[in-house]
Amino acid sequence: MSDPRTAPDATLYRLSLYHCYLGELIRVGAPERITSRQLAEELNIKEETVRRDISFVGDIGRPGAGYDPIVLYSEFTKFLGLSEEYPIIKVGTTKMLEALQVVFPAERYGIKPVAYYSELPEDSGTEVGGVEVKHLTDIPRLDAGLGVSVALVACSPGWVQITLDLLSGAGVNGVLLLTPIIRVRRPEGMNVTQLRMPCDLKSLACRCRVPVGTVGTM
């Protein structure tokens, strides 16, 4: 198996995509074999790109014979440094945490939320999915034994920088940021992936703009 640190970021992202797709496939009943061509067609990626990405993981399967989906999923899991219940923490109000649980039921994707934090004092002591919600000022007391290195942050914009600094101090070095804030100061050594939904919506609106004079015409 290759060292994941030598793989380009784009390859790591696509491997995560393959991993998610195979996980869904296994849940609904995977076929005995799946080929790189099938993966390419299902995910709209060039077949040679899929084969090259898989080569980073190691020598899996035989050319032309396809792959055992369960074995391939397992190899991707190990390469990506995941586990069957990869521990993460989430930061947001109780309402936000409950909403995220609905749209992103983490357990379906091999992820296990082990701690929740909210910016609202009144949320402290409530539970989401059996996990107690604590105030985000409790982040420095995160149990190192939980082995958490990644957090999903969906707090209000005014709390983002404080949250990132607290997470960094608690040893969390990866954050998926869902908060619509444009500029943040990334703590040293922390990887931050941000979804800027307002910007994405604006660019989408531009791409979908109806040319002047076409509205109402047949």
* Predicted local confidence at residue 59, as pLDDT: 78
Distance CA 137, CA 149 (A): 18
CA–centroid distance for 178 within its chain: 11
According to DSSP, the β-strands at 191-194 and 174-177 are parallel
Distance CA 91, CA 186 (A): 17
Residue ranges of domains in the chain: 4-79, 86-201
Q: Does this chain's domain 4-79 share its CATH topology with 86-201?
A: no
Distance CA 142, CA 148 (A): 9
Contact 91, 152 (CB under 8 A): yes
Distance CA 115, CA 106 (A): 13
The DSSP secondary-structure symbol of 190 reads -
Report which of 90, 84, 81 is spatially closest to residue 23, judged by C-alpha positions.
Answer: 84
May I ask the CATH architecture of the domain 4-79? Orthogonal Bundle (1.10)
Q: What is the rounded average pLDDT for all residues in the chain?
A: 87
Q: Could you write out the DSSP letters of every residue in 13-65?
A: HHHHHHHHHHHHHHHH---S-B-HHHHHHHHT--HHHHHHHHHHH---SBTTT
* Predicted local confidence at residue 186, as pLDDT: 92
pLDDT in tens, 159-204: 999 999 999 999 999 999 998 887 889 999 999 988 877 788 888 8
Report which of 178, 13, 6, 209 is spatially closest to residue 99, judged by C-alpha positions.
Answer: 178
Please check the confidence at residue 218 and state whether its pLDDT lies above 60.
no
Report which of 148, 116, 146 is spatially closest to residue 129, judged by C-alpha positions.
Answer: 116
* Predicted local confidence at residue 80, as pLDDT: 85
Distance CA 215, CA 218 (A): 9
* Predicted local confidence at residue 195, as pLDDT: 84
Q: What CATH topology corresponds to 86-201?
A: Rossmann fold (3.40.50)
Please check the confidence at residue 109 and state whether its pLDDT lies above 80.
no
* Predicted local confidence at residue 215, as pLDDT: 52
Mark residue 81 as left, alpha or beta (left: phi above 0; alpha: psi -120 to 50; beta: remaining): left
Report which of 179, 171, 130 is spatially closest to residue 152, judged by C-alpha positions.
Answer: 179
* Predicted local confidence at residue 85, as pLDDT: 77
